[in-house]
Amino acid sequence: MTAPVYRHELPAWAREIELSLPLHPQVLLSGNVRDLYPVVTLGPEAEPDDETVDLVDLSEMVWKVVSRRGYAAMLLLNPVTAKVDVRADDQAPEWIAPLRRSNYDTPGAIGDLLVQVVQNRDAPVALVLPYTARLAPVDGLLDPGDRALLTRAEVLGHQAAPTRGHAPRTAMAPFNTVVWVCERQEELHPLFPIGSPMLRVVPVPRPTLDVRATAARILFAGMAPDDRRSRAYAMAEVTHDMTVRDVIACGRLARDRGLPADRYADAARLLQVGITDDPWSAERLRQKISTAEEYLNQRVVGQERAVRKAVDILIRSAVGLNGAHASSSPNRPRGVLFLAGPTGVGKTELAKAIASLVLGEDAKPHRFDMSEFRADEAHQRLIGAPPGYVGYAAGGELTNAVRANPVSVLLFDEIDKAHPRIFDLFLQILEDGRLTDGRGATVYFTECFLVFTSNLGVSEPKNPDGESAPAAAGPPAVSYHTQPAQVERLLRDAFTQFFNQTLGRPELRNRFGDSYVVLDYIRPHVAPVILAKALRSVAARVARTHDLRLDIRPDVEAKLSDIMLERLADGGRAIGTLVETVVVNPLGRWIFDKTPAPGSVITLTSIAGSDGDWRVEVS
């Protein structure tokens, strides 16, 4: 009777290693190399129910590959013991026995090990070096021993010869294969022979949805096949772009907390950002969002339409529907708002108000002035410098901020002034909800609310390098005299022009979707409200600091209003500057000179003067 035949399904990158064995004496594995990988064993009938799933690490996967090609043994350099661990189906070749007793804690010893493996002419063997980047660090001076090791590695690659061993006679003879392993190729020293024709680079990708679902079946062993597959797929969907190790950890967290399938996302959130509960669905925040429109209109005067759109996005964030239309990436940020408009109309103030609403009254957004990120290397300030560069240990300003506060409001002010390379980072954040910093650690933006501001189309058009663009480079710029109905159309045209033609990145413009909101100029009917608010703030400061009650006569307010209407083109900030120049400065001089008694009532009866020389009369 013939024994049943079982087949192992290996991932594509493992099959690429197998293809390389008779062609390249050295292989470099990079990328997701510290993960677990599912191996599916199919039964004789190849039925879905007649299969098992095992999870193996990288060294086990390499052994499965090389043993299928008739390799007699695999040697793994153990960085903890500084010895080699040997894997063999039968007894390992005799010449390997002395290697087990030696220590490999110096570059010279490791170089000798390479020589003995590569020059073997018996049955083929493989040598795996799992932490290649640690053998010769990329930063600092390279000492002679490290340099000699890298040189020997490259020379041995060219000197290697195939050895048939006990591989099938019909197959191409494999080499004695040296398998280098690192997470990121940029961590390797420039002298590492990555460009050698004798080295095959095989990237190990992060697991796809199907791979995660296959691995997750292990979590639900014992269930009926249909239930097992549906639970595994549910777990895979909420672990987008996570490793198999993370998938298994999420499953164990869900089991530990008794979470049903529709709450697996809570386990993923806990693993990614360390938050056990969803802060966006907290009852406190829901109550505040229910009155958010009134609150934001008090903070940002005269921008009712923009506030209404911002509240819609906040509500969408609170119920977890941001990016719901894009099933390919469930880890997008909680909310995204792109605020466009003239200077001084409330873009930054609206971002501050959203931070206070979401995070607490005293909270402020993490603000990044993108005009400071014009240089080519500016993106390193956000994510950190790569290995070997100044600032590598400090990390990035953006990634550090989000790692410290996973629930954040992030303000990217004047985004159009940033260097074009910065927009690559924003594309990744908006699409995948994550960034990898200079040290290789992943930071998640899943619980962040992002606010971008720009005055594109208002001021003179700029190229990404900050130089003035030709007049015909974009749509006409708006001004205070532009009709309100035309402001939004012209600003949106400038927004489209910038991303589609100036940057050449229409895909990034599409990521903002309907989050683009235009704030209009401060119009005459709104200005008195802002003026009254500023004067109330002055009176409150006088009362709090000097215990004085400040009254302002109506004719004084009327004169301030007349002056203010001449400056509305400069926005609401100009109203604050006006109050400071015409009222606060001369009033401060009067209080300093007269020193009124606490509890007094002082009345501003008149103002006179011109720019730079204003006087007040107080009774």
- pLDDT at residue 33, as a whole number: 96
What mean pLDDT value characterizes the chain? 85
Q: Tell me if 225 is assigned to some domain.
A: yes
- pLDDT at residue 461, as a whole number: 41
H helix runs in 204-303, sequence order: 209-216, 225-237, 244-257, 264-273, 283-290, 292-299
- pLDDT at residue 466, as a whole number: 46
122: tokens are 């018996």
Q: 142 and 53 in one domain? A: yes
Q: Helix or strand or coil: residue 575?
A: helix
Cα–Cα distance, 503 to 464 (Å, whole number)? 7
Q: 353 and 456 in one domain? A: yes
CA 204 from centroid of its chain's CA atoms: 21
Q: 263 and 182 in one domain? A: no
Q: Tell me if 243 is assigned to some domain.
A: yes
Q: How far is CA 266 from CA 251, 261, 269, 296, in A?
A: 11, 10, 5, 30
pLDDT of 533 higher than 50:
yes
- pLDDT at residue 45, as a whole number: 57
Classify 177 in phi/psi space as left (phi over 0), alpha (psi -120 to 50) or beta: beta
Cα–Cα distance, 118 to 593 (Å, whole number)? 91
Q: 63 and 104 in one domain? A: yes
Q: What is the tally of helices (H) and strands (E) in the chain? A: 22, 19
Q: Give 521's pLDDT tier (boundaries 50, 70, 90).
A: confident
Taking only the tens place, the pLDDT of each residue in 431-446 is: 888 898 887 788 889 8
CA 613 from centroid of its chain's CA atoms: 51
- 314 half-sphere exposure, CB direction, 13 A CA radius: 26
- pLDDT at residue 154, as a whole number: 93
Among residues 497, 518, 539, the one where a domain terminates is 518
pLDDT of 3 higher than 50:
no
Q: Mean pLDDT, to the nearest integer, of 244-255? A: 93
Among residues 204, 222, 251, the one where a domain terminates is 204
Q: Tell me if 42 is assigned to some domain.
A: yes
Q: Tell me if 1 is assigned to some domain.
A: no
Q: 556 and 485 in one domain? A: no
Q: Tell me if 66 is assigned to some domain.
A: yes
What does residue 470 show for φ and ψ, rounded to 5 degrees? -60, 155
Q: Which residues pair with 549 in a beta bridge?
A: 601
Cα–Cα distance, 321 to 317 (Å, whole number)? 6
Q: Tell me the pTM.
A: 0.69
Q: Mean pLDDT, to the nearest integer, of 178-197? A: 91
Q: Give 560's pLDDT tier (boundaries 50, 70, 90).
A: confident
Q: 513 and 433 in one domain? A: yes
- pLDDT at residue 1, as a whole number: 41
- pLDDT at residue 563, as a whole number: 83
Cα–Cα distance, 487 to 462 (Å, whole number)? 19
Cα–Cα distance, 74 to 66 (Å, whole number)? 8
Supply the CATH number for residue 165's domain: 3.40.50
Q: Mean pLDDT, to the nearest integer, of 497-509? A: 90
Higher pLDDT residue, 611 or 422? 422
Residues of the domain holding 547: 527-618
Q: Residue 437 in contact with residue 392, Cβ under 8 Å?
A: no
Q: 286 and 238 in one domain? A: no
- pLDDT at residue 258, as a whole number: 87
Classify residue 518 by burial, with Cβ atoms within 10 Å: 0-12, 13-18, 19+: buried
Q: 452 and 387 in one domain? A: yes
Q: Give 449's pLDDT tier (boundaries 50, 70, 90).
A: very high
137: tokens are 């660090």
Q: How many CB atoms lie within 10 A of CB 4?
A: 9
Cα–Cα distance, 36 to 247 (Å, whole number)? 10
Best mean pLDDT range from 163-177, 214-228, 311-325: 214-228
Q: Mean pLDDT, to the nearest integer, of 452-461? A: 77
Q: Give 472's pLDDT tier (boundaries 50, 70, 90).
A: very low
Place of tokens 């209404």: 308
- pLDDT at residue 285, as a whole number: 80
First to last CA, the chain: 115
Q: 189 and 111 in one domain? A: yes
pLDDT of 464 higher than 80:
no
Supply the CATH number for residue 588's domain: 1.10.8.60
Q: 374 and 233 in one domain? A: no
- pLDDT at residue 324, as a whole number: 52
Q: Residue 347 in contact with residue 456, Cβ under 8 Å?
A: no
Q: Tell me if 2 is assigned to some domain.
A: no
Among residues 518, 536, 561, the one where a domain terminates is 518
Best mean pLDDT range from 355-359, 547-551, 564-568: 547-551
CA 31 from centroid of its chain's CA atoms: 17
Looking at the structure of the chain, the number of domains it has is: 4
Cα–Cα distance, 56 to 38 (Å, whole number)? 7
- pLDDT at residue 267, as a whole number: 85
Taking only the tens place, the pLDDT of each residue in 99-154 is: 999 999 999 999 999 999 999 888 899 999 999 998 887 766 778 899 999 999 99
Q: Residue 200 in contact with residue 47, Cβ under 8 Å?
A: no
DSSP state, residue 584: I
pLDDT of 481 higher than 90:
no
- pLDDT at residue 393, as a whole number: 65
Among the ranges given (295-309, 310-324, 372-386, 514-528), the one the predictor scored with the smallest mean pLDDT: 310-324
Q: Mean pLDDT, to the nearest integer, of 459-467? A: 48
The letter for the amino acid at 42 is L
Q: 255 and 345 in one domain? A: no
Cα–Cα distance, 36 to 27 (Å, whole number)? 19
Q: Tell me if 168 is assigned to some domain.
A: yes
Q: 334 and 365 in one domain? A: yes
Q: Mean pLDDT, to the nearest integer, of 588-593? A: 89
What does residue 319 show for φ and ψ, rounded to 5 degrees? -95, 5
